[in-house]
Amino acid sequence: MDFILEAAVRAVKTLFATDISKESLGLQQTRKEFEGEITLVVFPLTKVSRTSPEQTGTAIGKFLVNEVEEIESFNVIKGFLNLSLKNSYWLRIFYQEINQSNFGVFPSNGKKVMVEYSSPNTNKPLHLGHVRNNLLGYSVAEILKANGYEVIKANLVNDRGIHICKSMLAWQKFGNGETPETSGLKGDHLVGKYYVLFDQEYKKQVEELKNQGETEEQAKKNAPLIREAQEMLQQWEQGNPQVISLWMDMNEWVYAGFAETYKKLDVDFDQYYYESNTYLLGKSLIDEGLEKQVFFKKEDGSVWIDLTADGLDEKLVLRADGTSVYMTQDLGTAQLKYDEYHTDKALNVVGNEQDYHFKVLYLILKKLGKTWAEGLYHLSYGMVDLPSGKMKSREGTVVDADDLIAEMEVTAKAQTDILGKARDFPEEEKQDLYHIIGMGALKYFLLKVEPKKRLLFNPNESVDFQGHTGPFIQYTYARIRSVLTKGNFISDPNFIPVKTVSAVEKDLIIQLEQFPVFLAEAAENYSPAVVANYVYELAKTYNKFYHEESILKAEEETVKVFRLQLSAVSAQMIKKSMNLLGIEVPERM
């Protein structure tokens, strides 16, 4: 829309004898309740026009209609100048831009970004919260790729610590040699079972000690199970062969289970990092910080940083006995990732309960003089709630990711069968469709909401073929594919162009033309919700076009071919948008 901005600059110069830059002007899409497609905000120009917003807008509108061939008419609503462009302009945009193979394709920008997501603990299976994390991280990575970034998808696995030892100890005490093979359980489910069992037995011990006269705080510290778990962690850190062997076996069970879940979610990673390999890395940075007087030692030998001048607090970065804390490890891991990839940007996709941690982490790195820390970003997201309430891993009340995926497929099957959308499909194709619809419903529901917002997930609401859902968009795509098949459509760049378009055809062209704008906005804000809501509006607009205009029985062959071409491009944009969300679209439903 540079030509409108340039004409507006000329208008201000001619009408008000003032030079302005086009960067100082604001253009936006006209709101749907008003006539027009492009809106120029004229409020700021009243300073130079010395007239009311309405008078300023009217004067500029008349100038633009006379001077710019593409502008057909205008109207002014308060301080907003709404411009209507000629059909010939929108047809030119369709034929020369939208209908080209490189439309919406961003060239390489020469920048490298790492997106770290998933970050599971190896003491339990993935749950609904992890699902949002994985889907968000994967989609952001794909959106950044589409914007020309070189992207590295990374997974930092939390495979050490007291929580891991709890599962190990419970298995040792109560497992009787049980394995994924002998139990029939996925490895991550089996290990998670013993994490829950540890908590149950630990609580019994706490209650027994309280009954013997200890306070709750004393009982929690003195319970034999927690003492044994702490001893096991010390043995692990000392390299005890038996403990290390058990740790490796149980972790392998978990990794095999995770791999199955990742495959169902259709997410992937380019690089894995493991806490067991990175937890000591930060110690050299602690030494560096002490030399630079960024950190200070207390009398007991522990190392701290004072961030009170930055509105934060004092933060422990190394224990008195020289052992690492999470901050130590994360400092070292951040340095390792930069040393390996020299990224321009690095995102940590982690829930908002860790907002403070990452604020401190990034600030410490900057104080250490790490210039690359300017490119670090915490992609914070809200928790996922269920109608039944919050989830707690150690109590076994989480919504397991595998169970959720299975439930989504069952829900998708029920809805699909009721509507008869797969009545004539072979059984194998039906099962594939149920998975595609179920996963599309789940992914779209979690991604259509801005990441920072907490959300309430309702499986039944997500599988609604008429609502703001993934299945609605999937069905729209399948509908278009059906139209193209019936119309024997073959893309032909040399087809005879039409000379005019209807209002709904123009609306569809405008919606298509906006794809690169929304794609760039999604990358800038690290928000798949921008793409999700764009593709929903595109699907709605296409359905309106489908119902209002005859495609296969159009009055002229050129009109039929144009509408088929418009349908084909709409299908391409829907598929591309949904793929950016990690969502598959079925060829038929």
Mean pLDDT of the chain: 94
Query: Is 80 exposed, middle or buried, given 0-12, 13-18 or 19+ CB atoms closer than 10 A?
Result: buried
pLDDT at residue 389 is higher than 80: no
Q: How many helices (H) and strands (E) does the chain have?
A: 23, 14
pLDDT of 391:
41
Kindly state the average pLDDT of the residues 74-97.
Answer: 94
The packing angle between helices 503-513 and 557-580, to 10°, is 30
pLDDT of 421:
81
Q: What is the spatial distance between Cα 66 and Cα 62, in angstroms, rounded to a whole number?
A: 6
pLDDT of 323:
82
pLDDT tens-digit map of 111-163: 999 999 999 999 999 988 899 999 999 999 999 999 999 999 999 999 998 99
**Inter-residue contact 44 to 100 (CB < 8 Å):** no
In Å, what is the CA distance from 289 to each residue of 284, 321, 365?
Answer: 9, 18, 10
pLDDT of 456:
87
pLDDT at residue 437 is higher than 90: yes
Residue 395's pLDDT band (boundaries 50, 70, 90)? very low
Residue 422's pLDDT band (boundaries 50, 70, 90)? confident
Rg (CA), the chain: 29
**Inter-residue contact 113 to 346 (CB < 8 Å):** yes
Kindly state the average pLDDT of the residues 552-567.
Answer: 95
- With a pLDDT cut of 70, the percent of the chain lying above it is 98
SS (HEC) of 217-271:
HHHHHHCHHHHHHHHHHHHHHCCCHHHHHHHHHHHHHHHHHHHHHHHHHCCCCCE
pLDDT of 98:
95
Q: What is the spatial distance between Cα 137 and Cα 143, in angstroms, rounded to a whole number?
A: 10
Determine the straight-line distance between the first and last CA of the chain, rounded to whole angstroms. 39
Kindly state the average pLDDT of the residues 533-558.
Answer: 96
Q: What is the spatial distance between Cα 278 and Cα 159, in angstroms, rounded to a whole number?
A: 11
The C-alpha angle 168, 173, 179, rounded to 5 degrees, equals 60
Q: What is the CATH number of domain 408-580?
A: 1.10.730.10
pLDDT of 449:
95
Residue 341's pLDDT band (boundaries 50, 70, 90)? very high
* Helix, strand, coil percent values for the chain (each to nearest 5): 60, 10, 30
**Inter-residue contact 159 to 251 (CB < 8 Å):** yes
Q: What is the spatial distance between Cα 474 and Cα 575, in angstroms, rounded to a whole number?
A: 9
pLDDT at residue 516 is higher than 90: yes
Kindly state the average pLDDT of the residues 504-512.
Answer: 96
Residues 6+ apart with CB under 8 A from 376: 334, 345, 346, 348, 361, 362, 365
Residues 6+ apart with CB under 8 A from 460: 411
Provide the β-strand partners of residue 376: 346
pLDDT of 396:
46
pLDDT of 393:
41
Q: What strands, in cross-sheet order, belong to the sheet with 271-274?
A: 271-274, 150-157, 112-116, 345-351, 376-381
Question: Of 479, 486, 504, which Cα lies nearest the Cα of 552?
Answer: 486
Query: Is 558 exposed, middle or buried, given 0-12, 13-18 or 19+ CB atoms closer than 10 A?
Result: middle
pLDDT at residue 492 is higher than 80: no
Q: Which parts of 468-510 are beta strand (E)?
A: none
Q: What strands, in cross-sheet order, belong to the sheet with 314-318?
A: 296-297, 303-306, 314-318
Lowest mean pLDDT among 106-110, 356-360, 413-417: 413-417
Lowest mean pLDDT among 213-227, 480-494, 572-586: 480-494
Kindly state the average pLDDT of the residues 375-400.
Answer: 73
pLDDT at residue 431 is higher than 90: yes
Collapse the DSSP code of 400 into the 3-class scheme (helix H, G, I; strand E, B; otherwise coil) and give the result. strand
pLDDT at residue 262 is higher than 80: yes
Kindly state the average pLDDT of the residues 340-354.
Answer: 97
Give me the residue spans of the domains in the chain. 2-85, 408-580
**Tokens (6 digits) for 72:** 């057909």
**Shared fold status for 2-85 and 408-580:** no
pLDDT at residue 397 is higher than 80: no
pLDDT tens-digit map of 287-297: 999 999 999 99
Residues 6+ apart with CB under 8 A from 54: 76, 78, 79
In Å, what is the CA distance from 87 to each residue of 133, 407, 503?
Answer: 44, 48, 9
pLDDT of 280:
87
Query: Up-side HSE of residue 446: CA atoms within 13 Å toward CB?
Result: 30
CATH class held by domain 2-85: alpha beta
Residue 388's pLDDT band (boundaries 50, 70, 90)? low
Kindly state the average pLDDT of the residues 220-247.
Answer: 95
Collapse the DSSP code of 428 into the 3-class scheme (helix H, G, I; strand E, B; otherwise coil) and give the result. helix
Q: What is the spatial distance between Cα 138 and Cα 484, in angstroms, rounded to a whole number?
A: 31
pLDDT at residue 272 is higher than 60: yes
In Å, what is the CA distance from 589 to each residue of 419, 433, 467, 475, 581?
Answer: 10, 8, 17, 7, 20
